[in-house]
């Protein structure tokens, strides 16, 4: 079977809540892990973001560095970003870039997956609030 390489520079992974993903992004000058809140309802995204942002310090500590909290009021999506500068076109950097992405993907997954699932359950009819 022939496999055609993709031109995409990202990989998405669900965290168990519709529209909420962890995305690994490979760019020329940086790599990053984004926790994206991109549900169909803009207000749900902003509510989820605001609930999580109330405890920014806890999430920064869980990941081990300050995160970028991007509410982006003019967009439907909100996100939390962890990034590092790299020279992405340099193949000798690829193992280190990959290791960084794997480490920070795991930290972001551990930090955000369970809290966002609990918050999403609160939005369901009959959920506790």
Q: What is the pLDDT of residues 67-124, one digit of tens each?
A: 999 999 999 999 999 999 999 889 999 999 999 999 999 999 999 999 999 999 888 7
- At residue 15's C-alpha, the angle toward residues 119 and 18, to 5°, is 70
**Structure pTM?**
0.87
Output the average pLDDT for the chain.
Answer: 91
- 13, 83 in Cβ contact below 8 A? no
pLDDT higher for 90 or 4? 90
Residue-range domain boundaries for the chain: 10-117
Give pLDDT, residue 9: 82
5 pLDDT higher than 60: no
């Amino acid at each position: 079977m022939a496999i055609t390489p993709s031109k995409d520079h990202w990989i998405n992974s669900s965290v168990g809540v519709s529209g909420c993903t962890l995305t690994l992004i490979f760019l020329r000058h940086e790599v990053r892990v984004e926790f994206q809140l991109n549900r169909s309802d803009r207000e749900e995204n902003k509510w989820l973001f605001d609930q999580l942002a109330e405890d920014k310090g806890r999430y920064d500590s869980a990941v081990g560095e300050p995160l970028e909290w991007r509410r982006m009021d003019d967009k439907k999506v909100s996100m939390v970003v962890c990034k590092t500068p790299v020279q992405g076109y340099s193949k000798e950097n690829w193992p280190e870039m990959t290791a960084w992405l794997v480490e920070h993907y795991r930290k972001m997954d551990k930090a955000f997956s369970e809290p966002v699932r609990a918050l999403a359950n609160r939005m369901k009819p009959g959920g506790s609030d």
